[in-house]
Amino acid sequence: MTTVPVEHQRDSAEYPGKGRRVAVLAVHHVDGEGRPHAGGAEKYILLAIRALLRSGACVHVGYSGKSIYERLLEETEPDRLTVECTGWLDARLRGDRWSRLALLTERRRWLKASRADTVFAIQQDCGASFAVSLLAARSLGLRVVSSIRQMPPTERPPRLPEIGRWAAVLRRNWSASCCDAVIFNSRRVRDAYARIYGFSRDRLHVIHNGTPVIERAPAPHPNDLLTIATAGRLTEAKGVDEVLSVFAKIAVRVPHVRLVYLGDGPLRRSLFLRAKALGLSHQVHFSGYQPEGEALLEEVDIYLQLSHREAMSNSVMEAMARGIPCIVTDVGGLPEMIEDGVSGLIVRPGDVDGCARAAERLLTDSALRRRLGTSARERARRMFAPGEFEARTVRTILGVQKHAPSPASALCGG
């Protein structure tokens, strides 16, 4: 991911965060060898922290998993960014399961030691992983903001006999009630939490992710080879099995095409074996996890995101920003990103035949690929502007007005 040092931005930035200190609570995915992934949540964490630093705020991060902050620490003065491995969430991303008094006291002690006036929690567990931490922050009179990055596990509120689900609803509603603001990255996700968990709408904010638009040369086509790609963790939720099924149908009818999986995950071996059994092993490639995976999109002609559950896909956003036409499923926030038939194509979840027909259209019609790709880039320019993402994120976390004064200095108060 391309980054810009905080110091290089200071002369032109506004500093609504001067004198503010934000405690950020986060967790990072790791692979089987303990390496952190730079997935959508991790990118969001880094972008949000960078925005807070550029606003003039000081940040203290309490994280679980492996550190992803080495580069940011190198760019930033030691007194403005500090990080600490708290280990509050386990490997399954489960966190504050019990509101024990001892745990509440421990969290209050930690927050006092951080000297924070604001707590910003990037939530897992559909909005309840840091439940006790949010209560502790509220009890100390701090400003409390959380960001929820996942679709809820169900699309409907519980019925009366479903006691277990009612407990989950109450727990998540209680966590949200501790917050001054809750940030979502799509309207559909926000509306689902309001409907299912009863979140108060006046506290809910939709802030789309941000990414720079990248003008790229047309993808090279040695021997007329066309590339289809999908990105993300290789899990059932990402629809990676359906991607291979779609490709198997396409490969019979369209010569000189290959499929690239950009990412890693538990289904990699089974996908490899299935591709081999289908006689497609020479056309299906697995890049594995790449720290700078966006660069691999430069050679992609069509991007597929056939997720079963998705909030707002960073990979789709990055493909759009490069002018790559995308085919996505009608789930979560994906249809908010794409105008069907204008800046991409939308298919029903699990509709392998429909997706194969859509992909074949794009592969065999270069004019359609160019038209949808150009429209996708322009939509990304309008919808995912990094400056708008940064400004709205800072204002929501800090609770400042839209037009804040610009202090001459970005130094934090003691």
Which 3-state string (H, E, C) describes 87-146? CCCCCCCCCCCCCCHHHHHHHHHHHHHHCCCEEEEEECCCCCCCHHHHHHHHHCCCEEEE
Cα–Cα distance, 414 to 375 (Å, whole number): 49
Q: Is 166 in the same domain as 238?
A: no
Q: Would you say residue 155 lies in a domain?
A: yes
326 with 392, same domain? Answer: no
Are 171 and 189 found together in one domain? Answer: yes
Residue type for 173, please?
A: N
Whole-angstrom CA distances from 309 to 42, 148, 215, 296, 366 are 18, 14, 30, 24, 30
Buried b / exposed e over 43-80, threshold 16 CB at 10 Å, is: bbbbbbbbbbbbbbbbbbbbbbbeebbeebeebbeeeb
State residue 133's pLDDT score. Answer: 92
φ/ψ of 281, rounded to 5, equals -60, -30
Which pLDDT score, from 0 to 100, does residue 92 have? Answer: 67
CA-to-CA dists, residue 365 to 333, 358, 406, angstroms: 27, 11, 51
Domain carrying residue 306: 222-383
Residues 107 and 241 in one domain: no
Could you tell me the CATH number of the domain that includes residue 43?
3.40.50.2000
Residue 152 lies in a domain: yes
Same domain, 347 and 391: no
Question: What pLDDT does 412 receive?
Answer: 53
Q: What is the mean pLDDT of each run of 10 residues along the chain (414 residues)?
A: 42 72 88 59 91 96 91 92 90 64 91 97 78 93 93 64 60 82 93 85 92 73 81 90 96 92 91 95 88 73 94 91 96 93 95 96 94 96 93 94 44 44
Q: Are 120 and 84 in contact (CB under 8 A)?
A: no
One domain, residues 391 and 369: no
Q: Do residue 240 and residue 319 come from a single domain?
A: yes
- Number of domains comprising the chain: 2
Same domain, 67 and 53: yes
Q: How many CA atoms are closer than 13 Å to the CA of 3, on its beta-carbon side?
A: 22
Q: Which residue is it, tokens 């939720």? A: 237
The pLDDT of residue 414: 41
In three-state secondary structure terms, 272 is: helix
The reply to whether 410 falls in a domain is no
Kindly state whether residue 414 falls inside one of the protein's structural domains.
no
| Residue 222, pLDDT score | 57
The answer on 21 and 165 residing in a single domain is yes
Same domain, 174 and 228: no
Residue 143 is predicted with a pLDDT of: 97
214 belongs to a structural domain: no
Do 344 and 357 share a domain, yes or no?
yes
Tell if the pTM clears 0.75, that is, is over it: yes
Q: Taking Cα atoms as reference points, which of 360, 330, 326 lies closest to residue 343?
A: 326
- Whether residue 205 is contained in a domain is answered as yes
Answer yes or no: are the C-beta atoms of 370 and 217 closer than 8 Å: no
Residue 226 lies in a domain: yes
**274 falls within a domain:** yes
Whether residue 239 sits in one domain with residue 153: no
Residue 275 parent element (H or E): helix 268-277
